[in-house]
Amino acid sequence: MSILDKIKKFLPKRKPPEPKNTVPQEKEHIRKTFGAYCNSHHETTDGKLCSKCTALLTNVMLKIQRCPYGIGKPICEKCETPCFGENVTKNFLEIMSSAQKKVFFKSPLATVKHKIAGIGADYAKMQREKNSTEKQKEQEQKAKAKIANATRSPKNSAKSKKSKHKKKK
C-alpha cells in the first residue's frame, strides 16, 4: 500500500468522481473510422475523405458538439435519442459498423476503449431503468424534447430545399 492510499483512508469519503470527458476520444475514433471507410469505398487515400463523407462527418461533429448530454454522453452508436436525423444516423451507423475491423488493425487500443464505452452505455441504461425515479424520468423527457427541437429545424429546411429543386426540374 502506498503512502497516498494510507492518507486516503483517513480522509472523509468524497463524492463519486465527475464523469470523464471522453468526447474528444470519441470524435477522434469517429474521424478514423470515416477515413478507413471512405478509403475503401470511395477511392480516396491516406485517411482523406471524399466530399460526401466530409459533409456527413461535419454534420456528425457539429451535433456531438451540441449534444444535450454534455461530456457524460453515451457514444453516439448507443444513443437512445440520436440527434443526427434519420438519414444521417443510418449512414453513420453503417459506416461505423462496416469499418470497425479496419480501424481495429490501425489503432486497436482506441477501438477497445470505444467498445468499452459502448458497454458502459448499455450498463448505465440498465442501471437507470432499475432505479429511475420520477425526477430522472422528467429529466430524460426534457432531454428528449431538447433533441427533438434541435433536430426539427435543420431537417425541415433540408426538405424545403429539396422540394424547391424538384419543382425546378
List 53, 88, 103, 121, residue binding Zn ion (CB under 5 A)? 53
Neighbours of 125 (CB within 10 A): 13
Instruction: Specify the residue, 50 or 143, whose C-beta has the smaller distance to Zn ion.
Output: 50
What's the closest the beta carbon of residue 98 comes to Zn ion, in angstroms?
12
Smallest distance, Å, CB 52 to Zn ion? 5
Q: How far is the CB of 40 from Zn ion (least distance, A)?
A: 9
Contact set for Zn ion, span 20-39 (CB under 5 A) = 38
Asked if residue 50 binds Zn ion (CB under 5 A), the reply is yes
29: left (phi over 0), alpha (psi -120 to 50) or beta: alpha
Give me 36's grid cell.
Answer: 478507413
Cα end-to-end distance, the chain, whole Å:
76
- Residue in 150, 118, 122, 89 with CA at minimum distance from that of residue 22: 118
Residues in the interface with Zn ion (CB under 5 A) total 4
Interacting residues toward Zn ion by CB under 5 A: 38, 42, 50, 53
